[in-house]
Amino acid sequence: MPEYSEAARIVGERVRATRQKLGLSQEDVAVLAEMHVTNVGKIERGQSNPSLTTLISLAGALNANVGDWTSGLTTAMIPGRTHTLTAAEFLRERARRG
């Protein structure tokens, strides 16, 4: 079974909250976003890692801002990551090593 991230769960919750606030069903959103209803459900349950295109399609259908859905997410929320340095830390270390 695939491992999904905490980030996917949070984005899914935010998509669901947006949809519910508008009083739309998953079926309504699927039609508006031109996607299959099962994909909407998987995203909302955090059982999918949607592409940027998919998130933009959903945001367009829901008149939402993708940035609101992804705000505050960090790489620590993604399982299996081995690199933890930020670009600033990497550049600092590279400069230190000369």
Mean pLDDT of all residues belonging to the chain: 94
Whether residue 86 has pLDDT greater than 90 = no
- The pTM for the full model equals 0.86
Distance CA 88, CA 1 (A): 35
Name residue, tokens 């976003």: 33
Average pLDDT over residues 52-66: 98
- What's the pLDDT score for residue 82? 83
Question: Would you place residue 39 in the very low, low, confident or very high pLDDT band (cuts 50, 70, 90)?
Answer: very high
Is residue 40 predicted with pLDDT exceeding 90? Answer: yes
Q: How far is Cα 33 from Cα 65, in angstroms, rounded to an integer?
A: 14
Express each pLDDT in 23-35 by its tens digit. Answer: 999 999 999 999 9
Q: How confident is the model at residue 84 (pLDDT cuts 50, 70, 90)?
A: confident
Domains for the chain: give ranges and CATH numbers.
6-97 (1.10.260.40)
Portion of the chain with pLDDT greater than 70, in percent: 98
